[in-house]
Amino acid sequence: PRPALPSSVHAPLPVLGREVLVPLVTGGEVGYAALDYAASAPALQRVWDDVAAYAPYYGSVHRGAGYLSQLSTDLFEQSRATVAEFLGCRPGDQVVFTRSTTDSLNLLAAAVPAGTSVFVFETEHHASLLPWREADVTYLGAPRTPAEAVATLDRALAARAADGPALVCVTGASNVTGELWPVRELAAAAHAHGARIVLDAAQLAPHHPVDIAELDVDWVAFSGHKLYAPFGSGVLAGRADWLRAAEPYLAGGGASRRVARSADGGVDVDWHTTAARHEAGSPNVIGAYAIASACRALTEAGFDLLVEREQALVARVRAGLAEVPEVRVLSLFGDDAPRVGVVSFVVEGWNSSHFAAALSAEYGIGVRDGLFCAHPLLRTLLGAADQEPGECGAPEAAPGELPDPSAGGAPTLNAIRVSFGAGTPDEH
């Protein structure tokens, strides 16, 4: 028998001009817990404050001697330095501002030298899995322990026939299971075979210190909107040589140092060799400033404290879920694997999307449902290799009515994800 969901009181409330069905908790207060930090974490108040203080003064970066342009150029370059420090960059590393992790990894994929062999686990987020399709890619099967991941990579690299450049792309913390991957060991295996490694730190950087030199990875990619900054900015940081030798990611102003008509009727372009090479167009200075502000806030709060608080929350969520026999928590590496504040599960007999819709409508808990942009991984975790993705997203309901959480309860290829972070002690 399914647990009965209590019917609480609901009111359609106007939120930003739209009517949203919001549960009212006792006393008539509106309570809503947004537990989808793995998709986008709420920006810290301190980040909003920093951005608001700068907003009256922003101007275009690298665009002349005007006071506001100079100030913005200064803040943009200072933000780059703050990110470099946050990531423990080595001398000579470049920090390129991008739009997101997806953008960063696509940039690197466009910059790999011709003939590069790429190695990627099939369990990756699509942002890490898909950008390499033009290269010679080896997709590695799902490992069931961190040690197996290292052994699998080691074997694949040892068996590599080509002796050109090689690149490994791996995520630091899974956006589905929250599990930590053995980044240091994978980097050592890659380097032992002369390969390079890029770390997808989209889910790792908000939860753990990421030190590029200490992990000994060649590049790191992450997104501002998962690191308590708002949308629109990301980072690719790491070795300069491939980036410097590559064609600019986007062709345009800012990336070019000198442009002239050539004798053959075309144009001759002399591209920058700094990070600006891959930042053509007017840079997103507010996005970069916001990321730098979030990096400072996390550093000042101290990752020791943040990890301790978050691990207490992880333990509480997992203990609660363990009490419900119908719940199956998804895990690749097993129950004891270290993980960040990301927990995915399915509830036997329930359609995950409907369940998530009911959590929102009945309990005011916002979670993610679906396949989390990691379809091959979900197939493995759910033991449904041949199944097509099930229905994702909230079920249809008439305006002002609640969806029926048990409608269409047939098992489908989707799951529920709860994710959170400690943020800074003052704010969370």
Active site residues: 373
Sign of the alpha-carbon torsion through 242, 246, 249, 253: positive
Contact 341, 207 (CB under 8 A): yes
Which of 82, 94, 101, 351 contacts ligand PMP by CB under 6 A?
Answer: 101
H or E element: which one contains 291?
Answer: helix 285-301
Q: Write the binding mask 22 to 41 for ligand PMP: x where contact by CB under 6 A, - elsewhere.
A: ----------------x---
Q: Which is nearer to ligand PMP, 125 or 379 (CB)?
A: 125
Query: d(Cα 109, Cα 112) in Å, to the nearest integer?
Result: 6
How many residues of this chain interact with ligand PMP, rule: CB under 6 A?
14
Query: d(Cα 315, Cα 265) in Å, to the nearest integer?
Result: 67
| Residue 205 makes contact with ligand PMP by CB under 6 A | no
| Residue 171 makes contact with ligand PMP by CB under 6 A | yes
| Residue 100 makes contact with ligand PMP by CB under 6 A | yes
b/e map 71-103, b = 16+ CB within 10 Å: bbbebbbebbebbbebbbbeeebbbbbbbbbbb
418 φ, ψ (degrees, to nearest 5) = -110, 130
CB of 197 to ligand PMP, least distance (A): 15
> Among 77-85, 124-132, 133-141, 271-279, which window interacts with ligand PMP (CB under 6 A)?
124-132
Query: d(Cα 40, Cα 125) in Å, to the nearest integer?
Result: 15
Contacts (CB under 6 A) with ligand PMP, residues 360-419: 373
Query: d(Cα 51, Cα 73) in Å, to the nearest integer?
Result: 15
Query: d(Cα 282, Cα 284) in Å, to the nearest integer?
Result: 7
Q: Write the binding mask 214 to 253 for ligand PMP: x where contact by CB under 6 A, - elsewhere.
A: ---------x------------------------------
CB of 28 to ligand PMP, least distance (A): 35
Q: Which is nearer to ligand PMP, 36 or 218 (CB)?
A: 36
CB of 1 to ligand PMP, least distance (A): 35
Residues that bind ligand PMP (CB under 6 A): 38, 100-102, 125, 127-128, 171, 175, 200, 202-203, 223, 373
